[in-house]
Structure 1
């Protein structure tokens, strides 16, 4: 059975959700953020040199990095489900949006968070630049979701599992308004209606009401 080392309010929720969607047996080891720094506690840091979640154990294997874990579980335990292959008409879209989550969306939000924590004044050119980048990223997602129910097309996929954390839980750390993006908001409502997502969020972060609007 897979053991998921889950830090509260962290992207390791992706792995719990994936296992629920695929009906892959798992157990969760919960960790709580340091109340002063909001970073990982020593027990989680001891598992991996970067001290970040998610980390999984699968027998003797220990693996970090959420995208790598998602790929591993889908191929090793999920029969390839939720991953589009080259024969699928949405293959290129799947690849793009799967990697967009950690390659563009999450870093764009993170840069705004870091700049704000640095105490830059409103109107500072660096802060304006990172806000502009985040707005372009969200606008691109909005355009895509005006055309398709899910990021890779008409079918739900692991690209969606990789993406949703940044639009929901990450807003606990860097709030941003989704009112200008009605198609993203509709998309999050579709996600929130998925039984596997609801189960995953109850099990991973029972204290958290998912931020779906």
Structure 2
């Protein structure tokens, strides 16, 4: 059985959501953020030296990083339509968006969130870059979702799990204003039963 090391208010929700969608058995070990620093407490570092969530343990393996864990779980699922058939157009869309979530989009979204949490006097060197990247990325996302229901086309896939969680972080940083397609998409994702079961873990 897969053990998920889940940190509250973190991207490890992706892994719980994926397992719920696949109806796979799993167990959860909870880890809490430090109330002052908002970082993971040392218990997570005792599992993996990076001290980050998500982490899974399965068949004597410990794996960190959302994208790698998603692929591992899909490889071990008995049946799944959450990853399109390799070689198809939908597969390469799926692959692009899975990497986009933690590649292009995560840096400007999380940097923007962190900048909102600190006291700042005047513009900083990163401000222009972050603003440019956010506009570019979010416009690309909104345009894509105006043409298709999901990121890999008309079928829900694990790419939607990867993208939803980072888009929720963007939403919490008030970065989704005037992005109607993203707002519609998030509402659809949050209505999924498996998503709601995963979110119940905190």
Ranges in structure 1 where 5+ consecutive residues have no aligned partner: 206-213
Could you tell me how far apart the structure 2 residues matched to 1:196 and 1:116 are? Answer: 31
Number of corresponding residues: 202
Which residue in the other structure is 1:151 paired with? Answer: 151
CA shift in 2, pair 1:129/1:23, >3 Å: same
The 3-state SS of whatever aligns with 1:96 is helix
* Shift in Å, 1:16: 0.1
Write out per-residue CA displacement over residues 141-171 of structure 1, whole angstroms, 9 at most, x where no aligned residue: 0000000000111000011011111111465
Could you tell me how far apart the structure 1 residues matched to 2:130 and 2:165 are? Answer: 20
Which residue in the other structure is 1:190 paired with? Answer: 188
Write out per-residue CA displacement over residues 168-211 of structure 1, whole angstroms, 9 at most, x where no aligned residue: 14655xx1242210000110111112111111111x21xxxxxx
Which residue in the other structure is 1:73 paired with? Answer: 73
Query: Is the 2:170–2:176 Cα contact (8 Å) retained in structure 1?
Result: no
CA shift in 2, pair 1:44/1:138, >3 Å: same
TM-score by length of 2: 0.92
Which residue in the other structure is 2:197 paired with? Answer: 199
* Shift in Å, 1:58: 1.1
Ranges in structure 2 where 5+ consecutive residues have no aligned partner: none
Could you tell me how far apart the structure 2 residues matched to 1:49 and 1:199 are? Answer: 29
Query: What's the Cα RMSD here?
Result: 1.8
CA shift in 2, pair 1:113/1:188, >3 Å: closer
